[in-house]
Amino acid sequence: MSERMLAVGEAPRTAGEVRGVVPPARAGVHDERAGGAAGDSGADGQEAAVLLDRTREAVEPELRRAVDSLPGTMRRVVTYHFGWEHADGRPAAGRSGKAIRPGLVLAAARALGGSPTAVVKAAAAVELVHNFTLLHDDVIDRDSTRRHRPTAWTVFGDADAILAGDALQALALRVLADDQHPAAGAAAARLAACVVELCEGQHVDTALEERPCDQVTLDECLGVAEAKTGALLGCACAVGALYAGAGQDEVEAMDAFGRQAGLAFQLIDDVIGIWGDPARTGKPVGADLLAGKKSLPVVAALTSDTAAGAELAELYPGLGPADVGRAADAIDRAGGRDWAQAQAAERMSQAVGQLSRAVPDPDLAGGLLALAEFVTRRSS
């Protein structure tokens, strides 16, 4: 058996036991929002980078065809959001993102014996849904930058950004409805169910933000992370499996793989929100702390029953810029960063165990593992 995968059902104790998956370095982490290469050192990072380049090459034409079908005013908001145009409509050289989710669709199909070419429309549909969530999240969170550019709502206004996001969700389902592949119907149903889960996750997240810090639990926050991040990564993997003609057990195992990898991703993203390098994230130091977000490291620290956790509770939320360094240090001393990094490794361990159920052959699973590691081994 290759070192790239354990035997079926034999999950490792830590993600570091599989292909060198390790918690991210404490020196800092890199954010997908920055638009740069994440986790791109070493052979695994190079493999993932090649896969993502090929994904963009295959999927972006389908994305552009879909977006071109939108009415003119809405198309302008979307093309700006994707980085294809400037706000005034001039062509821009920006990329529409890393293509992680469509990359998972293609890699899952390939791993289970399907044709990556046949799944391109489904991969585009998943990416359209992802961007629907980004447009809405930026409005809800009042984030002013994404990939070093002003967010769509800051340029075009709340209403236009929200409506553009709504259009992308509808467009995703239309892309699947127009697809002649026999799995398109099942994929559309699964993607629609995922959208409901995403919206519920956002609803709960918003409700948690209104609660006092001492009334929020880690389990609740992990549930939100699974719904908001893990659900779509799991759906991407499941859609790829459906297009490959996989059985129900394999489809569900692939969904579970994506969900656990998504939780690992969110844990690292939350670390980024506190300790990420602004030059690479495109956001101010401690942006999530200034916004008062109840991210996973913050809640882990607040519920740690430590002196540092109590110190953080006196500061949080309502921080000013001068308090960011002290709050970040308190979270660190309370164990919030270490907990998040250890949890990320554990979730990757569980992801690998689920993947081995669906794809026992380690060579076939290599692309999926490379992509999962790519987004969970980010360092700045």
pLDDT of residue 314: 92
**Residue 299, Ramachandran bin (φ over 0: left; ψ between -120 and 50: alpha; else beta):** alpha
pLDDT of residue 26 exceeding 60: no
Of 375, 130, 127, nearest to 266 by C-alpha is 375
104-108, 319-323, 340-344: lowest mean pLDDT where? 319-323
Domain ranges of the chain: 15-376
Q: Tell me the one-letter amino acid at 313.
A: A
How many angstroms separate the CA atoms of 4 and 365, rounded? 8
pLDDT per residue as tens digits for the range 152-164:
999 999 999 999 9
pLDDT of residue 43: 64
Phi, psi of 345 (to 5 degrees): -65, -40
pLDDT of residue 233: 97
Torsion of CA 268, 29, 276, 28, to 10 degrees: 120
**Average pLDDT of the segment spanning 345-361:** 95
Q: Please give the full DSSP string across 50-81, using - where no structure is assigned.
A: HHHHHHHHHHHHHHHHHHHTS-HHHHHHHHHH
pLDDT of residue 45: 78
More confident residue, 227 or 45: 227
Give me Rg for the CA atoms of the chain: 20
**Average pLDDT of the segment spanning 309-334:** 93
CA angle (282 as vertex; 31, 96 as ends), nearest 5: 70
pLDDT of residue 347 exceeding 60: yes
pLDDT per residue as tens digits for the range 104-119:
999 999 999 999 899 9
Q: How confident is the model at residue 42 (pLDDT cuts 50, 70, 90)?
A: low
Task: Give 15-376's CATH code, choosing from 1.10.287.3610, 1.10.8.10, 1.10.600.10, 1.10.645.10.
Answer: 1.10.600.10
How many angstroms separate the CA atoms of 112 and 210, rounded? 44
pLDDT of residue 35 exceeding 80: no
**Average pLDDT of the segment spanning 80-85:** 96
pLDDT of residue 94: 72
How many angstroms separate the CA atoms of 269 and 294, rounded? 13
CB 181 within 8 A of CB 239: no
For the chain, give the mean pLDDT: 87
pLDDT of residue 283: 67
More confident residue, 111 or 212: 111
pLDDT of residue 162: 98
pLDDT of residue 10 exceeding 50: no
pLDDT of residue 309: 96
Of 178, 191, 176, 166, nearest to 71 by C-alpha is 166
Q: Please give the full DSSP string across 172-208, using - where no structure is assigned.
A: HHHHHHT--STTHHHHHHHHHHHHHHHHHHHHHHHHH
Q: How confident is the model at residue 378 (pLDDT cuts 50, 70, 90)?
A: low
Of 241, 242, 264, nearest to 364 by C-alpha is 241
